[in-house]
Structure 1
């Protein structure tokens, strides 16, 4: 090393590998967001469903969802509906496909008579396949 002169060395070669760590981090964050939000998107109407020990219902090709919330309001496929309009829509569905299944979700605080009225509307319209939706309780350990 000479006086006043700096040591010269070769410059580093450019890096040829792609750094995928930031991309993986972003993808994992998106995955966590989707995992957390997916259960919230199943139904927009908040209900306190009664619990039962039955199993999960199988999927049916033609299904209508009828909800009776805690204030006894009716919703068909998550859209508010009046009893008269419900009667017409159910009759129309029964005419198109008599094997259409009606999933009846009712808050456990709804009076039994209101649930029976909703069932009667469906049966008068010609729908005989009515399924009741309830939350399952965890199995009791013995």
Structure 2
């Protein structure tokens, strides 16, 4: 607590000031903040990896490529031969079990029905094919 200064000519007792002096509190807070900053460990933005030494083996095995075409009448072709939905699912299940799994290239025509194309994609996902590619997608850009 402190006292307000008296004015000259004014009589009576000085009024008591009821404000808290916050300067020591701020000083203590700043000291604690500096101590906290000093004690925090330095974070490194690096990830330590142990990389293999030497040259990797050459992969001379070319993956087999399966071509699935969908023509403008929405007929599905497996390697150039027309197939039904059941045959397509059976063939996809067969190649999904192969190791290494072949690449499947789907080439839809711009005029084919989207439902047929979506059915081919969903069948491939259900059968577990992971190496899929849509070929000729630039025809859909206007």
TM-score by length of 2: 0.50
Which one has the largest radius of gyration?
A: 2
Name which structure has the greater RCO, CA cutoff 8 Å, separation 6+: 1
